[in-house]
Every structure is written in C-alpha cells, then in structure tokens.
Structure 1
Amino acid sequence: MIVNLTSAIFIIALILVMGQVFSALFDKTRIPDILPLILFGIFLCPVFNIVSLDLFGQMGKVFTEIVLIIVMFQTGTSFRISDLRDSFLQGSILTVICMAAVGAAVYLAAFYALRLPPIYSLIMALIVADNSLVVIMPLLSKLKISGETKAILTLETTLQSVLIVVIVLALISMAKEEDVTSHIILTKVLYSFLMAALISVICGVFWSAILNKVRRLENSMTLTLAFILIVYSACSAAGSEGAFGVLIFGFVIGNIRVIQKLWMSKVLTEANSFKGYEKNFFAEIEYALRTLFFVYMGMSMYLQNTYFILCGLFIVLLKFGIRAVVVNYTLSKHITRTDCAIAAALCPSGLVAAVLAATASQQLGGTNGIQDTVYSVIFFSLILTSLFSFVIEKEYTRPITDFIFSRHNEDIKEEPPSDKPSDEPAPEQNKHAGV
C-alpha cells in the first residue's frame, strides 16, 4: 500500500495522462475511455492493494459529490430550451416506465434469489434501476447521436436519479419502522423538485445579472465555481436535492438570453451567459475530476462472494434486456435505430447506486448481500455499457439493431462528412467546364 506522498502524486499525474490517451483513442477507435480507467482502479486497490481507500477517508465522499456537482452543471449548461421542449414528454415517459419495469424485475430477482424481505427487495430494485449520470454524460458528449436523443437521455437520467435518491432514502426510513407513508414519500419528491427549481432559478437569474461585474474581479471564474457550490449547499440545506439544483442553475445560465426574451424582458434588464474561455475552464475541470473519479470508482469495487457476483451479472442482463424493449416502444419512430440502440445500451449503475447500497447496508444491517450484489451490478453494467456503445457505433451489430428496433427509422447512410467533399465539387467543375 502506498503511503509515500511523491508516489501518490505521481499516480494522480499518471491517471490524468492516461485519461487523455484513452480519450484520444476513443476519438479514433470509439472504445470508451471509461472502461480502462475503471479497470486501472480495480488493479490499484482490490486486486493488488497498491492504494487503500482508507487513505481517502471522508474526502472520498466530498470528492464524489464535487464530481457530481460539476458534471450536473456542465450538463445543465449544454441543455437547450428547444431540446427540452421536444424531449420532455418522451424523457418523462421513458423515466417512469423504465424505472417501473426494471424495478419490478429486480424486485422479483432479489426476493426469490437473494431471499430478501419485501421492503429490502424494493430498496435494492430501485437502487439497481438507477442509471449513472456521471458515467452517461461523458459518453453522450462523444457518441454520434442526435441532439434530441441526448436531451431525452439526459432528462431521463437526471429525473431518475433524483426520484430514486428521495424514494430509497424514504424506504430505508420505512424499513427502520419510522413513521413514513406513501403520501410522505410523494410529498418529499415534489418538494425536492420544486424547492431545487425555485432556488436555482433565482440564483441563476441573479448570477447572470451580475456576471459582467464579476468578470472585472480577479479570479472571476473561481468565484463562479464557488457560487455553484453555494447553490448546491443552499438546495441541500433546504431539504432538496442539491445536484438537481445545480443542473437547473446551469440550465438557466446556459439559456439566460432565451429566458430573458421569452419571460423576463421587462424584469431582467441585463442577462449574461458564459463566454468561450469560461466554458473551457469548466470543461477542463470536468475532465480532470471525472478522469480521477472513474479510477476511484474502480478502486471502490470489492467483489468477493461468487453467488452475489453471479446474481449481479444476471440482474444486469435482465436490466439491459428490459431497457431495450422499453426504449423501443417509448421513443418516437423518427428516432433512428442506432440512436435507440445506444439509448438501450446506456444504463450503467454507478455513483448513486454505490452510495445508496452502502447507506442501506449501514443503516439497516443484515441486508444479506444488497451491497455486494449492487457492486457486482455496477461492475458488469459498466463493462457492458462500454462494450455495447463501442460495437453499436462501429455498426458491428447492425443486423441485430435493425431487427430489434425495426419500427424506427433507418439510419441515413449518406451522412458521413467524408463522402460529401468528394461528391459535391465534381458537379461544380462540370458546370464551369460546360459554360
């Protein structure tokens, strides 16, 4: 186990360099950079025990929260009102149906295979139903899919994470025989959404109004980063979901000029969005944090019990199969088959699932394998998501994709940009020759 500070700093530098190398390889080979980073983390800690998670202590939890905050903010700024308008209904339907279908199947698996009590089975089912936003967002930014599909998947992942966190924590309280009813759970969910939206919209409008003045100060971008953390803290302190609040804040900042024209032309006299150098600043921060996070996620995976590992693999296959069916019948027919296939493949469990599984294990005790099984689900779902997204984009699975998603539009083969330069100049030359 490494205790040498110099060695630890060298490993951090090595991880950042590896992240850049894997990112460049992704652009050329389409092999997702997530998988090798996670595998590197697994070799560092669970396999060879080069680094121990005990070294991180409470800072590990702080680090994961900061990663989530930055990823949510970047996701919010990339959202466009036009995309949200076109994707809100489909994203909401996909969220509800996928949660219900996957949750029901995993509930039965947990109840019969793991012999868990009904309330514990329900908790595990919802934990597994969650799709990791921290994993999906970096993939969405690099995969070649339409803006509408990206908006649908972003909305689905965000809504799903907030719903699952609130409901699972309420169910844990119920399992501890506290006075919690379905009415209280619904009230908590609505309160979490509304309070986060209210605080974030106010903060977003306020910050956009004073952004020009902030830019005159030294280290202005650091002040914006600090304000993002303040928004998160304010939403969490109000009993809402801080990460969702940061998403809304980023959405307001990214669309403030449109919001001003549509709804606030008389109230908001000055509206400032981010400039290019500010976007680059946060993009660099996101890259560094998420690269380190994927290695940290790999270090956090302890797979020991063979039975729980096999149960996790079975549940992952079940989850992917159900999601393919749900995606096929909930997304509009005009969305292409490749987009549908990628949407079906992007359902990895991750940060939220790991945290909720650990919380359930700590607070309930005697949960008979929930945490071990969820870690197995995280491991296999990350591998399958990486592999599926690769083979789908490479069109290795085109016959299978066309068969499963036959009700959707075919992909347009003339889209690749490499074809157009060779085809278009020729007719122009012929016209000039004829004249």
Structure 2
Amino acid sequence: MNSSLTILFLGAIIFLAHWFSGIFDRKGIPDVLLLMLVGVLLGPILRLVKPDDFGIAGPMFTSLTLVIILFESGIGLNITELRKSLGRALSLTAINFIVTTVAVSILSYSLFNLSILESLTLGATLGGTSSAVVIPMVRQISMQELSRTYLILESALSDVLCIVFALALIEGIMGSDVQPGLIVGKIISSFVLASIVGFVAAVIWAIVLNRIRSIKNSIFTTPAFVFIVYGIAELLGYSGAISSLVFGITLVNIEQFRTPFFDKYLPSEPVSLTETERVFFSEIVFLLKTFFFVYVGISIHFDNFIIMGLGLLFSIILYMLRIPVIKFSARSNIQVADKITMSVMIPKGLAAAVLAGIPLQKGIPGGQIIQDLTYSIILITIVITSVLIPLFGRYKRLKAIFGWFFRASLINVKPRP
C-alpha cells in the first residue's frame, strides 16, 4: 500500500470511528466490534495490510495505547469509590484468574498434546481481562460507579497476575524451577512498588504542574510524563500499567492526600487537571483506541478452523464459569443488571497476545498451539462481549436468563442512575 493510500485510509478510519461511536449511542452496537471488523477486512480478508508491515511500531503502539487508556481511566476514578471497591476488586481478580487458569489448563491438557506446565502457561496467559477493551466499553454503558470501578481495577490488576505467572511457568518449561514463594513475592512487589512509583511520580508532577502550564503548548507534557513513569516502572521490573493507573488516580485526587509535609511543597491552590486537559486526554484515548482495535483485527489469524472452533468452545466455558465468579465475589449492593454486565466482561487482549508469542519464540513444543488458540480466544471473547452487551438492552428475556443465575427478579431492579 503506497503512502497516499495509507494516509487516505487513516483519515477514513478516524471518520468511521466517529460514525461507529454514533451507532453505539443510537443502536447499542459497540464501536470496538466494528473497528475490529474493519481490521479483519483490511488484513485477513483483503490482505491489504499485514501485522509485519508495522514492524516494531506495532507492539510499541499497543503498549502506548494501554498506558494512555489506564491513565485516562485513573483520572476518572474517585478515591472514595476506590476505597470501597479495592478489596472486592482484588478478590474478583484473584478468583477469576484462578478459575480461568485451572479450567483452561484442564481443557488444553485433555484436548492437546501439551505438558502440564504448557497447559498452565496457556491458562495463565488467558487468566485476565483486557484493559484496552474493558475500559472503553464500561465508559460507554450505563453502570453504577462502583461496578465500573470493579471492572477497571480488575482489568489492570489481572495483567500483573498473567504476566508474572506465565513468565514463571515458561521459565519452568525451559528448565528452571518453578518456585511458588518467589512468584508470590514478585506479584506483591510488582503491585506495591509499582503503586509507589505511580504515587510518588504524581506528587512530583502535582508540584510542578502549575509551573508547566505557563509554558506555551504544554498540554501534552502530562501524557509525556506518564510515558516516562511507565518506562521507569518497567525498567525497574514492576508493572508500568499499575504505575500509570495509580499516577492518574493520585493526580486527580491529590487533595485527598494532603498532609503537613505535602502542604509545605504542594501549591496552595488545589492541583487538578483542567477541563481542557481532560477533554484533550479523552480525544487522545479515542484516537488510540480507534487504531488499536483496527490493528487487533489486522493481527487475527484464520488459518486453522479447528483451532477457531476449539477457541469458541473454550470461550463459551469461560463465560459460563464467569457467572459463579461474579455471584461469589460481587457485593450484595451491586444491582443485578450490573452483575449481568460484569458476568460477560471477560474479553482478552494485549497481555494475552504478547504472552502467547513467547513460548513459540523460546522454541517450546506447544508454542504454536498456545499462540493460535490464544489469538482465536482473543477475537471470540471480544466479539461475544461486544455482541452480548447491546443484546441485553434489546432482549429482556436474554437478560432475564442471566439474571436468574443471580436469584433476583429483574422486574424489581431499580433503574440505573
């Protein structure tokens, strides 16, 4: 594809993204799904673009998208709601990860010629939910703020579990010992130290933000600083995603953390993002989200229909298991309608796609199966989630079927605020 045609496509995709957003508002069809279908059309079907055409820029772009989406979601979180939901979010994340890992491991061990460690690696790879998919979707649908916060935190926290466990299991396959104590220590340190990095960085930025604003054309300096925070956390071996999320939460709620020590250094006026800055960050997220999901569609493989069929089977089982996970871990004051939405919010994404390629790169015998099955499940779970959400709004009988599992009548559910 020549440069003129490429630029034409880029402009057309941005206009399509705005149109798709309008379709979501009017018809309830998620723009995420439509953008992915555009990518599938350009890539696997018409073969106009291949993932290899992006070179190293493709993986870097996905990471950059994740950073900005997590930061923007962080500045939308209220610290009071966060305190209420953090414990339950951790519980939901851990339970869903364990259930998914065990289920996928048993299925893959039974259906494929994979070892126990290879099966567990596949399970850990698929144990989380995608921040890049979940956050844009929950921002667009009507939910209690508490429920929305659960899902945002789960998507961010689960990435850490997936990465630490999957990499540890891969090391075990390559000949190193799998040490449970070391894995737990890595998880705790990644959470805690990444949070400290994000918090300290936000305090530093709060101190200098008013001065930075006096510089001409400085509105992009905050996202630029988020990139630096992410990079530092990753270089130190912590979770850059968690640091980005905590940075956003701390920056927008900085007044809640004021102490006599902070008062000595923080500006006297409340430090917060202006409405212009918030709108600007929202526009950046919209643009990055647009190209991210088109890129995901381009990257999908349809070469092995048996793997695609098994990916559908795995996905259906994961959705079935999600219902008792939500029933057990969600608080009683969460509305049934929100529990139904939470029960289908398990799309896989960036972390799974990155981890799926490592076993094949390492020459592990089952690496090809792990990669192909993961890619098929990523596509299928994103499609299923994107389709079910609007269907719940249109077909009350379908919603009632899911509501029955939570032992509550949807007739008596209070309308969402």
User: Does the pair score TM above 0.5?
Assistant: yes
Match of 2:295 in 1: 296
Q: Number of paired residues?
A: 414
Secondary structure at the residue paired with 1:145? coil
Match of 1:306 in 2: 305
- Aligned equivalents of 2:35 and 2:244: distance in 1? 26
- Shift in Å, 1:158: 1.2
- Shift in Å, 1:68: 0.6
- Shift in Å, 1:352: 1.1
- Shift in Å, 1:365: 3.0
- Aligned equivalents of 2:135 and 2:303: distance in 1? 30
Match of 1:165 in 2: 163
Q: Which runs of 5+ in 1 are unaligned?
A: 417-435
For 1:276-295, what per-residue CA distance to the aligned partner results, in whole angstroms no more than 9, with x for missing partners?
00011111111001100000
Match of 2:45 in 1: 47
- Shift in Å, 1:12: 1.1
Secondary structure at the residue paired with 1:18? helix
CA contact (8 A) 2:75 2:252 kept: yes
Secondary structure at the residue paired with 1:78? coil
- Aligned equivalents of 2:195 and 2:260: distance in 1? 18
Alignment of 1:4-23 (within 5 A): 4-23=2-21
CA contact (8 A) 2:336 2:413 kept: no
Instruction: Give 2:256's match in structure 1, choosing from 249, 255, 258.
Output: 258
Alignment of 1:66-77 (within 5 A): 66-77=64-75
For 1:362-397, what per-residue CA distance to the aligned partner results, in whole angstroms no more than 9, with x for missing partners?
124321511111111111111110111111233532
Q: Which runs of 5+ in 2 are unaligned?
A: none
Match of 1:327 in 2: 326
User: Could you state the TM-score of these two structures normalised by the residue count of structure 2?
Assistant: 0.95
Greater Cα shift, 167-176 or 5-14: 167-176
CA contact (8 A) 1:335 1:408 kept: no
User: Could you state the TM-score of these two structures normalised by the residue count of structure 1?
Assistant: 0.91
- Shift in Å, 1:410: 6.0
Structure 1 residues 184 and 415, CA gap change in structure 2 (3 angstroms): closer
Secondary structure at the residue paired with 2:169? helix
For 1:245-272, what per-residue CA distance to the aligned partner results, in whole angstroms no more than 9, with x for missing partners?
1111111111111222699456645451
Alignment of 1:137-148 (within 5 A): 137-148=135-146
Aligned-residue sequence identity (percent) comes to 30
* RMSD value, Cα: 1.8
- Shift in Å, 1:37: 0.8
Instruction: Give 1:229's match in structure 2, choosing from 223, 227, 235.
Output: 227
- 1:277 and 2:254 are equivalent in the alignment: no
CA contact (8 A) 1:144 1:393 kept: no
- Aligned equivalents of 1:80 and 1:15: distance in 2? 33
The amino acid that maps onto 2:133 is: V
Secondary structure at the residue paired with 2:49? coil
- 1:181 and 2:179 are equivalent in the alignment: yes
- 1:377 and 2:373 are equivalent in the alignment: no
The higher radius of gyration belongs to: 1
The amino acid that maps onto 1:371 is: Q
CA contact (8 A) 2:400 2:410 kept: no
- Aligned equivalents of 1:284 and 1:172: distance in 2? 38
Structure 1 residues 179 and 101, CA gap change in structure 2 (3 angstroms): closer
Structure 1 residues 411 and 12, CA gap change in structure 2 (3 angstroms): farther
- Shift in Å, 1:329: 2.2
Match of 1:403 in 2: 404
CA contact (8 A) 1:338 1:393 kept: no
- Shift in Å, 1:100: 1.1
CA contact (8 A) 1:333 1:408 kept: no
The amino acid that maps onto 1:343 is: M
The amino acid that maps onto 2:275 is: G
- Aligned equivalents of 1:335 and 1:82: distance in 2? 16
Structure 1 residues 383 and 267, CA gap change in structure 2 (3 angstroms): same
Structure 1 residues 370 and 204, CA gap change in structure 2 (3 angstroms): same
Structure 1 residues 403 and 23, CA gap change in structure 2 (3 angstroms): same
Structure 1 residues 411 and 331, CA gap change in structure 2 (3 angstroms): farther
CA contact (8 A) 2:144 2:416 kept: no
- 1:317 and 2:316 are equivalent in the alignment: yes
Structure 1 residues 299 and 205, CA gap change in structure 2 (3 angstroms): same
